[in-house]
Structure 1
């Protein structure tokens, strides 16, 4: 399939998941609000997800896919690939079980350390937060297994099932929230709702394993339980995955750094950051993750056959498509993010003041949105070459920059400082990754691509100017009646689409040659 079709498949299903996640966060805002229990839920939700991204999605998948692809033969024989995946699962399971047991024991100390100021002001909140942390942590085990199965399916170019799996997470959480919203809005109702969501999270992990396992068997691939042994394949994976864990670990350490700084801020800061990040994650998940997932197997095959020109072509196409979609998203959210938060999230437990603070955090986050996406697009070039060390170094340097900015900004501007610091750190990472790819002759940006990205930026800037002047006139609509809010959102969407669309056509960004290039079949 072509890059555009693969990204469309993954991105389309991811978009459905993000819409469900968007609905989920609207309900969370209204049911829990920026309250102590809202922050307690966000902390219980973030902890297993930080480790999931550390052990599973980032490090494991990036190291596993190239090794798995090398064991797949052109005639369709998957015996060696099945043997490799089974041996990896046999070693992965006991590691996850032992780690999970340690985390459950240590949970009271972990929650107390990261709890925001004021969480314990209402009696029983800390105990409930610890309970939720323990209930949600099995999600890590289930999702690590799901990631292994998803990596197998992606290597077989069956992207749909893995892209759709997170929908199950959001359905489970929405179900728990729907139940909670029937209980009212007092403290006890918020506590029951948060605990129901904790159980729903772990249940969703189990359901995703079952879902992906079904499609793996339909693809003719079999995984079985075996006694753990350090086979040559497992050893080779370990050599790659350990530095990749440190690389992913640098990012997750930055998440722990965020948790530390959040613990120094008033109650509500966890919720503000998570609600703002939902808007940032919409384009990041749909575009960045889809592109990174789609190009890694193809890059591995091109480089394995020493087809370097084809690998460079694929990399350029991925960058162009990423910027074509991401830059306008970032510009539009910068100028209109507060309006969207007011329309969709404000209400019940989430006040207009909460929405205003969240909107400011959205502005800080989207400053780094193109960089966050480019990280997903550039790192596969290193992973496909089995170079997991370089992204570790660049991420570590960017982390130092981020921490320095956190120390400087958070005491002055609060949670918005975290967003800005992360954005600057992401751009530092991109400059380092791109510079190293150029220096090692792994990939060099062509003047043609630079020109096209510049024209995309000009078209997005024109759209941003139009949205800026529009918001001056219609800002009061977003705190008015339902009809005024709907008219305001429609005006934003129409203005953005018309101005950016016209800009790309006038500047020659979108033409038949572009579509032909992006539709070209991958190797």
Structure 2
């Protein structure tokens, strides 16, 4: 909320409509991340609390890692899809009444850059729950303060020096979220939970490959339907992307991560 307020203040000095566009894009970003990530974190918190405090470090680490993996598996293609179809999504959701072409471009630009930080937002939510379950509220607080300072500095640089406009503000928020995620991951890894290891890199490479393949399929579908309206383009692109992504997960043998939360809960 503080970072949103900071961005709103900076947006008030930009062109007309920037505040509203930033708010709409951020709201959509929060809803998308919230639906999946908050469901995961609320589900795992009782298990994390039960295993925390040295009671069962192996089980605690297992729940945490499987939760992060499941979050990445779900959010990564969604973020990529939003980046690809940001304008179409904004037109479908908001383009009516006085919401003109300029408003569409402003909101779509903000949404595009917000989507860059979606995985970081998800990571922060999951790891914050893990720290709180371990009775460590200090680390998330320090990371949050670091994020607030980061977004202030970046927002100033992007809008006043680089003149990136509303996209710069959304990008500042995303980079800030990524910075917070790095701090939380570093601290959790330092706590001997071994978050970063060979398997982590293999998992990231597999997910990246699956998302790239999915995006290529979605781009082809978008180009083939670009002459139609935004509804058809979005629906067809999603209809093509979903099975391609699921098949990619199967071929790369990533499907086993879906059962991680349940098996450790």
With structure 1 as the length reference, what TM-score do the two structures score?
A: 0.48
Q: Which of 102, 106, 109 is the aligned partner of 1:360? A: 109
**Equivalent-residue separation in structure 1 for 2:105 and 2:67 (angstroms):** 35
Match of 1:331?
80
Contact kept in structure 2, 1:336 and 1:467, CA below 8 Å:
no
Cα distance, 1:390–1:403 mapped onto 2, change above 3 Å: same
Match of 1:388?
137
TM-superposed deviation, 1:422 = 0.6
Match of 1:441?
192
**Equivalent-residue separation in structure 2 for 1:392 and 1:428 (angstroms):** 14
**Equivalent-residue separation in structure 2 for 1:476 and 1:355 (angstroms):** 18
Task: State yes or no: 1:492 paired with 2:241.
Answer: no
TM-superposed deviation, 1:336 = 0.6
TM-superposed deviation, 1:267 = 3.1
**Equivalent-residue separation in structure 2 for 1:515 and 1:366 (angstroms):** 23
**Equivalent-residue separation in structure 2 for 1:438 and 1:319 (angstroms):** 13
Cα distance, 1:287–1:446 mapped onto 2, change above 3 Å: farther
Task: State yes or no: 1:470 paired with 2:221.
Answer: yes
| 1:456 match: secondary structure | helix
**Equivalent-residue separation in structure 2 for 1:305 and 1:396 (angstroms):** 28
| 2:143 match: secondary structure | helix
**Equivalent-residue separation in structure 1 for 2:177 and 2:228 (angstroms):** 34
Cα distance, 1:257–1:487 mapped onto 2, change above 3 Å: closer
* CA distances 1:264-284 after superposition (whole Å, capped 9, x unpaired): 123311210122123312331
* CA distances 1:42-100 after superposition (whole Å, capped 9, x unpaired): xxxxxxxx4xxxxxxxxxxxxxxxxxxxxxxxxxxxxxxxxxxxxxxxxxxxxxxxxxx
Q: Which of 11, 30, 49 is the aligned partner of 1:300? A: 49
Task: State yes or no: 1:278 paired with 2:27.
Answer: yes
Match of 2:171?
420
**Equivalent-residue separation in structure 1 for 2:264 and 2:126 (angstroms):** 18
Unaligned runs of 5+ in 2: none
Contact kept in structure 1, 2:221 and 2:233, CA below 8 Å:
no
Contact kept in structure 2, 1:316 and 1:445, CA below 8 Å:
no
* CA distances 1:230-269 after superposition (whole Å, capped 9, x unpaired): xxxxxxxxxxxxxxxxxxxxxx2x2331122022123311
Question: 1:483-522 alignment to 2 at 5 Å?
Answer: 485-510=230-255, 513-520=256-263, 522=265
**Equivalent-residue separation in structure 1 for 2:60 and 2:31 (angstroms):** 28
Task: State yes or no: 1:371 paired with 2:120.
Answer: yes
Match of 1:461?
212
Q: More displaced, 327-336 or 302-311?
A: 302-311
Q: How many residues align?
A: 263
**Equivalent-residue separation in structure 2 for 1:425 and 1:398 (angstroms):** 5
Match of 1:351?
100
Task: State yes or no: 1:398 paired with 2:147.
Answer: yes
TM-superposed deviation, 1:305 = 6.4
Cα distance, 1:490–1:444 mapped onto 2, change above 3 Å: closer
Contact kept in structure 2, 1:292 and 1:376, CA below 8 Å:
yes
Between the two structures, name the one with larger relative contact order (CA 8 Å, sep ≥ 6): 2
With structure 2 as the length reference, what TM-score do the two structures score?
A: 0.91
Contact kept in structure 1, 2:218 and 2:238, CA below 8 Å:
no
* CA distances 1:407-450 after superposition (whole Å, capped 9, x unpaired): 12124122111100110111111111111111232453443343
Match of 2:203?
452
Q: More displaced, 330-339 or 397-406?
A: 397-406
Match of 2:156?
407
Unaligned runs of 5+ in 1: 1-49, 51-251, 479-484
| 2:192 match: secondary structure | coil
TM-superposed deviation, 1:369 = 0.3
